[in-house]
Amino acid sequence: MSIIYNEQDRSFTLQNGRIAYVMQLFHDGYLGHMYFGRALKHFNLQRAFYQTEREGAPNPEALADARTFSLDVLPQEYPTYGSGDYRIPALEATLSNGTTTLDLRYKSHEIFQGKKSLAGLPATFASDKEATTLEITMQEVGGELEVVLSYTIFDDVDVIARHATIKNIGSGTVYLRKAASLSIDFPEADFDRIHLYGKHAFERNIERTPLNHGIEISSSTRGATSHQHQNFLALCAHNADEFQGEVYACGLVWSGNYEAATEVNSFGNVRMTMGINGFDFKWQLKADESFTTPEAVLVYTADGFNAMSQHFHTLVQEHLVRSQHKDQLRPVLVNSWEAAYMDFTEDSIVRFAEDAVKLGAELIVLDDGWFGVRDKDNCSLGDWTEINAKKLPNGIKGLCDRIHGLGCKFGLWIEPEMVSPNSNLFRSHPDWALGVPNHIRQQQRNQYVLDLSRAEVRDYVVDSICEVLGSADIDYVKWDMNRNLTDIGSAAFPAEQQQEIVTRFVLGVYDIMERITSKFPNILFESCAGGGRRFDLGMLYYMPQVWTSDNTDEVCRQKIQYGTSLVFPPITMGCHVSACPNHQVGRSTPMLSRFICAMSGNFGYEMDLGKLSAEEQEEVKSHIALYKELRPTIQQGKFYRLMSPWEGTQNETAWQFVAKDGSEVVFMYFKNQCLPQGNIRKVRLTALDENATYKVTHHLFSPSLAANALDYLSNYNLEGDIFGGDELMHFGINMDKVDRDFAGHLLVFKKQ
């Protein structure tokens, strides 16, 4: 068993042979956190927590004479406010008597094989042979609250999954004001803090700063995990890099408002917490009612950020994504949006598809504009069953059948969570949109947000979307969500529950996703939220891939995809080639560079391939064929970052994929700006067999980028060359000198 309770020293140890997590009960049932890190053969618990008197640190009455024990310095598992701990609490509540002081003590525990599901919430899963779970029941000394802390340790991945269930065991009404999913204390503060920040069309940039005294918070109050900040947080050693150094990282299986915080106190201790954002959060608990927090996942490694990412990637693929498409190769997709926007007909989409299929496309997606009277984004959201007969006289089925007739799959765009003011749905049910009395609703993109806290609204969404999806043999759905939440109120709930609505909205999203995706298990669902607004672990539970960003510019995408890969495997990332000048930033880059960047995930195109020149079409055809050849390694292999666009020259990026069996390596390198008399870059690969040799089977580069193209072709084409595995890892490979901007290189190695 991977979890042991030692009755003699009242300790709990979770371990899988590589990592360990240790807790201990102190005095009258205080639960302390003793250790999280590399598995240890011996651990002297008696000396793990150094107790000494601290000025200003209150002492429990029974220990007042000693003056050396205080909750203000005890590393705790689920801290509260009011009983002597002044740091960030994990739990805040207003009890039925109006007071807010909480004091949690140990009551009981249970250890069992496997892992329970969380009702109404996405969460990781594991069989009895894959994980062990510990549930520790704590009780508030006043007798009104019971808190069950759940910990699961996995056998195959170095992750601890945590959540809490808070139950009202009293007779009055309690209001939760904060309920974190995870809190962990560290005895020292000698860390860097890493989080992912951004904005629409430039998500998940990496920011690394030394940990500072006081409280630092990354959060969202937008009703979604947001473009602005990712619900991921890491603490790492100052010397940590991609391949060495300790990293402690956490992520939240949640898609709404969240808070990830660190606090360094005056004694040099660190507390890290993560969970639903306590800002504007209040949850009513009547007698015998309970609230379950979203699940948090906690990763430890001593081997740097690549190892951290490998644990996250394995967790996502093996213990989070449920879709039957999880282990299937994903199709090459061509989307109509940037090719046609809302100006299309059935015949024009079929022509668009014919041109794409000739070049190797496997999935054609009809984006926005197929329903209601939607020629602009100012109407018809919600009128899903009213198919636009002018554009699609034979309905969705007519177009779908014609696309299938080309030997290609068919996909459709939807945005089920929104409603247009100018729609039949809103005219019939104006109270079905989120709104606050005596306020005029705010619009964004000419739309409101549906009140998914209401069962009748969720039922309408499920029924209407299922009617559309059931009308034709649809293979793929792009599920969009294009605005943040405002005017958060519901006509269906009383005043004392209005601060629950933003959380109930997310639970409502999960409900409709669960019902729709379960009814259509054969459909490949891709989540989208104005691009990457809601790229999170919660979404991946229902949909195995996410549109990474609305920005398809190859230079920007290097950073976006690099940052995204810290947590998410490339198979979850939608990555497409678009036309130039790029629609988001106006930049023109070579087709090859765009292809190499986009092939680093779920590959596709956002352009009308039929409008390319004959020469460009041949290039696209060869690119698609090559991607199909390399797809098993890219989608199902292991991903390694080699050069960061945020470090070094900040002008170069490199990464690689290694096939599951190690037989193939796909290596990409980008250099965005040419420098006069530039240095020759040597890049070292990783995770190869030192005793094997590797043959270059493909070497893609742009001769036109070199000053002397003929010399470049004759001297720098490495196809057929053989390198040693040790050579590639320890000596490296020289990258080509180029004399133009936006160079992209692809090398494929076959193990001999």
Which tokens go with 23?
């807790």
Q: Which of 85, 185, 480, 511 is catalytic?
A: 480
Q: Which of 511, 550, 553, 736 is catalytic?
A: 550
Contacts for 206-209: CB closer than 8 Å, 24+ residues apart: 206/562, 206/563, 206/566, 206/644, 206/646, 208/236
If one counts every other C-beta atom within 10 angstroms of the C-beta of residue 513, the result is 23
**What is the pLDDT confidence band of residue 590, given thresholds at 50, 70 and 90?**
very high
Active site residue 451: no
Which segments of 528-655 does DSSP mark as H helices, in order? 537-542, 554-564, 591-598, 614-636
Residue with token string 């996250």: 312
pLDDT at residue 676 in the model: 84
pLDDT at residue 739 in the model: 72
Mean pLDDT of the 36-55 span: 92
Asked whether this chain's domains 85-319 and 642-751 adopt the same fold, the reply is no
pLDDT 10s digits, 386-421:
999 999 999 999 999 999 999 999 999 999 999 999
pLDDT at residue 679 in the model: 85
Dihedral angle, C-alpha 555, 559, 562, 564, nearest 10 °: -120
Residue 707 has pLDDT above 80, yes or no: no
Annotate 730-745 with b (16+ C-beta within 10 A) or e (fewer): eeebebbbbeebbbbb
CA distances for 157 relative to 194, 312, 658, 664, angstroms: 22, 8, 19, 24
- How many percent of the chain have pLDDT more than 70? 98
pTM for the model: 0.97
pLDDT at residue 715 in the model: 67
Residue 675 has pLDDT above 90, yes or no: no
CA distances for 72 relative to 12, 668, 687, angstroms: 22, 50, 45
Residue 708 has pLDDT above 90, yes or no: no
Which tokens go with 73?
């310095």
**Residue 65, burial from CB neighbour count under 10 angstroms (0-12, 13-18, 19+):** exposed
Closest CA to 643 of 732, 552, 727: 732
pLDDT at residue 705 in the model: 54
pLDDT at residue 38 in the model: 97
pLDDT 10s digits, 344-362:
999 999 999 999 999 999 9
DSSP state of 473: T
If one counts every other C-beta atom within 10 angstroms of the C-beta of residue 439, the result is 10
pLDDT at residue 704 in the model: 58
pLDDT at residue 156 in the model: 95
Residue 252 backbone dihedrals phi, psi, to 5 degrees = -120, 130
Which tokens go with 407?
């030997």
Which tokens go with 244?
């060495």
- 106 contacts 120 by C-beta, under 8 angstroms: no
Residue 174 has pLDDT above 90, yes or no: yes
CATH match for 85-319 among 3.40.50.10490, 3.30.70.20, 2.70.98.60, 2.30.30.90: 2.70.98.60
Mean pLDDT of the 41-51 span: 90
Q: How far apart are the first and last CA of the chain?
A: 41
pLDDT at residue 706 in the model: 54
**What is the pLDDT confidence band of residue 194, given thresholds at 50, 70 and 90?**
very high
Q: pLDDT higher for 737 or 342?
A: 342
Distance between CA 291 and CA 507 in Å, rounded? 12
* Strand partners for 149: 136, 164
What is the total residue count of the chain? 752
Q: If you average pLDDT over every residue of the chain, what do you get?
A: 96
Residue 709 has pLDDT above 70, yes or no: no
Distance between CA 494 and CA 517 in Å, rounded? 31
pLDDT 10s digits, 320-344:
999 999 999 999 999 999 999 999 9
pLDDT at residue 606 in the model: 96
**What is the pLDDT confidence band of residue 701, given thresholds at 50, 70 and 90?**
confident
Dihedral angle, C-alpha 733, 552, 196, 326, nearest 10 °: -80
**What is the pLDDT confidence band of residue 681, given thresholds at 50, 70 and 90?**
very high
Residue 710 has pLDDT above 70, yes or no: no
Distance between CA 627 and CA 657 in Å, rounded? 13
**What is the pLDDT confidence band of residue 678, given thresholds at 50, 70 and 90?**
confident
- 615 contacts 598 by C-beta, under 8 angstroms: no
Strands 682-683 and 733-734: antiparallel
**For the ranges 373-382, 561-570, 733-742, which has the lowest average pLDDT?**
733-742
- How many percent of the chain have pLDDT more than 90? 93
Please state the domain extents for the chain.
85-319, 642-751
pLDDT 10s digits, 223-241:
999 999 999 999 999 999 9
Residue 402 backbone dihedrals phi, psi, to 5 degrees = -70, -40
pLDDT 10s digits, 426-454:
999 999 999 999 999 999 999 999 999 99
Active site residue 550: yes
Residue 717 has pLDDT above 90, yes or no: no
Closest CA to 733 of 686, 663, 698: 686
Which tokens go with 500?
């629950």
C-alpha atoms less than 13 angstroms from C-alpha of 555 in its C-beta half-sphere: 18
Distance between CA 345 and CA 392 in Å, rounded? 6
H or E stretch covering 501: helix 501-519
Which CATH superfamily is 642-751 part of? Golgi alpha-mannosidase II (2.60.40.1180)
Mean pLDDT of the 204-214 span: 97
Which amino acid is residue 100, in one-letter code? T
Mean pLDDT of the 667-678 span: 91
* Strand partners for 299: 159, 249
Distance between CA 357 and CA 259 in Å, rounded? 45
Q: In what order do the strands lie in the sheet with 664-671?
A: 638-643, 652-658, 664-671, 743-751, 693-700, 722-724
| Non-local CB neighbours of 430 within 8 Å, separated by 6+ positions | none
Distance between CA 178 and CA 91 in Å, rounded? 5
Radius of gyration of the chain (CA): 27
Distance between CA 33 and CA 36 in Å, rounded? 8
**What is the pLDDT confidence band of residue 1, given thresholds at 50, 70 and 90?**
low
pLDDT at residue 714 in the model: 61
Distance between CA 648 and CA 731 in Å, rounded? 19
**For the ranges 240-249, 300-309, 712-721, which has the lowest average pLDDT?**
712-721
pLDDT 10s digits, 490-500:
999 999 999 99
Residue 712 has pLDDT above 60, yes or no: no
Mean pLDDT of the 30-53 span: 93
